[in-house]
Amino acid sequence: MDLETFLWKYKMSSAALARKVGCAYSSMTAYVRRQRKPQLAMAEKIENVTHGEVTAAELMTGRYTTDYKEDFISAPSKRRSDDSEALATNSKICL
């Protein structure tokens, strides 16, 4: 799981996680936005604080085992495109 999803899931702020881990808010924000990768020691602290939900390996490589955000983002967009296709089909039938 990525940091942004973890924060969203637990309704936690970047500042609160930064305090728990012991790093600057600006650093945590950069990690959350994937603008910077943490050093190994910091990645391990984040893994410990998140109880393994965000792993050091994921933070270091940028490869996440499950990208939960894709599930939330892609599902509605698929529905909208399916609905618009159905509307287009129905409007052709009505004509």
Do both 48 and 83 map to the same domain? no
- Domain hosting residue 81, numbered range: 67-95
For a pLDDT cut of 90, what percent of the chain falls above it?
Answer: 56
Do both 7 and 53 map to the same domain? yes
Do both 15 and 59 map to the same domain? yes
Structure tokens at 69: 């955000």
Query: 10 Å Cβ neighbour count for 14?
Result: 19
pLDDT in tens, 20-55: 999 999 999 999 999 999 999 999 999 999 999 999
Which SS3 state, helix, strand or coil, does residue 53 take? coil
Residue 60: per-residue pLDDT: 87
Answer whether residue 73 shows pLDDT above 80: no
Q: What's the number of domains the chain is made of? A: 2
Do both 56 and 10 map to the same domain? yes
Residue 56: per-residue pLDDT: 92
Q: What is the reported pTM?
A: 0.66
